[in-house]
Structure 1
């Protein structure tokens, strides 16, 4: 939206688009293209709500208070339920997406597990009113925040998926290994998380770190960047690095061959429908 459609998204927040007809139409168009692609290839698709930024600290600079955020979280999920009802022939899963309290690339303010649960409980309660199929926490960078999120979801009996972001060395921004983070979250929360994902990383950044270990079975898929740039480079970019859609599709195909139990594949930074189509073709 930022580079290809010239849409202003302060702080990468998409939930403000829900407030205007033009903004809602952009979201509907994006969701419909995704659904149509799933229909074409005979698979299901996950619809992520536009609420990654809809928490207190990240939305405050945009002028949103708690009541406004509650309305935004509910409206985002209501839109997905409408999309699902209009496309009943395609298997759809409605995911309420939440993000980190601060910058997922640079977690400068790290909470302990108790503080993280208390903080994310606010948005979790708002999301619960929208009856999602699952809550998905994306671009997570350290285990303590994730544990708090999982506990907040458990309080509302909401299924939860966790997606970690990785640096170019295949580790979390805090330096923790992916497997260690998954095992720590599972150990503390009694394996409550439905599954784990990787997002906001290019396959070249993490493939060498995916090893034959028990924790690999807890991973269900990857939501990859088209760009090989580091997070620091992506933050500073003034041009879109969309990589090579065909090459990215081939990489996804190799990942599926190596890990047949992976079920969820998608695009993050730099990707659009071209990349999704290449992935679908390789997966089919």
Structure 2
């Protein structure tokens, strides 16, 4: 297979398409408690160990739909989250396996990239919360450093710090990513994504402008938005980011969630989300990557592929 161009270089030349949601695709497979490691129901990341063929199948469904980039099934695989399931001591090896699984799927296609997914730690270091705000900062940094190390060793082409709700945690994850690169001797691009509510604020009140200004000079390669809202609610923030220097990733949910019988349901169809994101790409040349978050499926990604190619 021909050597693919580096991820950051590819993003400069063309708009790259990310995949869609992982969790909802797992739910479609109807997992039972016995499918998870040690019967720990809901340990979705653990399926890389017990049902790797499921995760490979989901990765490939997005690749077939036209995604240039697939995210590792490691959203909750920092050391703290893995500790909850008894796998904290295996954080590096666990993330390495997940990245290798995605790498195997991506390498069956031409010019595809593996993105190491790093979701929130489960703590809010900026807050005064007696439980969530008291974790020492160096412990949070180390929890992310171990995850980043595993993802890099497993062959990730970039690291994605995503669905971040506390800008101090984003800073710690960025520092951890740089430390992991130093340790492994391999440099990969860093994408720092924050999550905003429908009013354009992170959970603890940080605006998109403050978030971007805080981390943009920390050696990151891309800044982005994902989750929480649909594209309509992201529009003012995307407009502002469209005027900044760093290239941008935009990954909205399939609209705002609706509560139906205690479950979050996302109703925005492939055509509508593709139209919105196509509009963003046309208006703001520094949007170099788009994709989907909660509620988006291979059908959404196939439609995004069509509009990008068009």
With structure 2 as the length reference, what TM-score do the two structures score?
Answer: 0.76
Residues 35-54 of structure 1: pairs in structure 2 closer than 5 A: 35-38=63-66, 45-54=68-77
What are the superposed Cα offsets for residues 101-134 of structure 1, whole Å, 9 maximum, x if unpaired?
Answer: 1179xx8624676554233222223333223211
Other-structure match for 1:41: none
User: Is the Cα contact below 8 Å between 1:252 and 1:283 reproduced in 2?
Assistant: no
User: Is the Cα contact below 8 Å between 1:166 and 1:205 reproduced in 2?
Assistant: no
- State yes or no: 1:27 paired with 2:47: no
Deviation at 1:251, TM superposition (A): 0.8
User: Is the Cα contact below 8 Å between 2:78 and 2:121 reproduced in 1?
Assistant: yes
Residues 15-164 of structure 1: pairs in structure 2 closer than 5 A: 15-20=45-50, 23-38=51-66, 45-67=68-90, 69-87=91-109, 90-102=110-122, 109-110=132-133, 114-157=138-181, 158=187, 159-164=189-194
- State yes or no: 1:178 paired with 2:211: no
Distance in 1 between residues matched to 2:171 and 2:137, nearest whole Å: 6
Other-structure match for 2:4: none
SS for the counterpart of 1:7 is coil
Deviation at 1:137, TM superposition (A): 0.9
Deviation at 1:229, TM superposition (A): 2.7
Distance in 2 between residues matched to 1:133 and 1:112, nearest whole Å: 30
Deviation at 1:3, TM superposition (A): 4.5
Distance in 1 between residues matched to 2:242 and 2:270, nearest whole Å: 32
SS for the counterpart of 1:217 is coil
Worse-superposed segment, 238-247 or 147-156: 238-247
Distance in 2 between residues matched to 1:185 and 1:116, nearest whole Å: 17
User: Is the Cα contact below 8 Å between 1:202 and 1:228 reproduced in 2?
Assistant: yes
What are the superposed Cα offsets for residues 5-48 of structure 1, whole Å, 9 maximum, x if unpaired?
Answer: 3236878643211122xx2222112211222222xxxxx61121
RMSD over aligned Cα atoms: 2.8
- State yes or no: 1:198 paired with 2:225: yes
Gapped regions of structure 1 (runs ≥ 5): 39-43
What are the superposed Cα offsets for residues 84-111 of structure 1, whole Å, 9 maximum, x if unpaired?
Answer: 3322xx211121111111179xx86246
What are the superposed Cα offsets for residues 199-255 of structure 1, whole Å, 9 maximum, x if unpaired?
Answer: 10311212023345686332422111003138xx69x94253242222111111111
Deviation at 1:167, TM superposition (A): 0.7
With structure 1 as the length reference, what TM-score do the two structures score?
Answer: 0.82
Alignment size in residue pairs: 267
Distance in 2 between residues matched to 1:143 and 1:195, nearest whole Å: 15
Distance in 1 between residues matched to 2:179 and 2:251, nearest whole Å: 27
Worse-superposed segment, 196-205 or 124-133: 124-133
SS for the counterpart of 1:128 is helix
Deviation at 1:269, TM superposition (A): 0.7
Other-structure match for 1:272: 297
User: Is the Cα contact below 8 Å between 1:223 and 1:268 reproduced in 2?
Assistant: yes
User: Is the Cα contact below 8 Å between 1:142 and 1:181 reproduced in 2?
Assistant: no
Distance in 1 between residues matched to 2:76 and 2:215, nearest whole Å: 23
User: Is the Cα contact below 8 Å between 2:45 and 2:77 reproduced in 1?
Assistant: yes
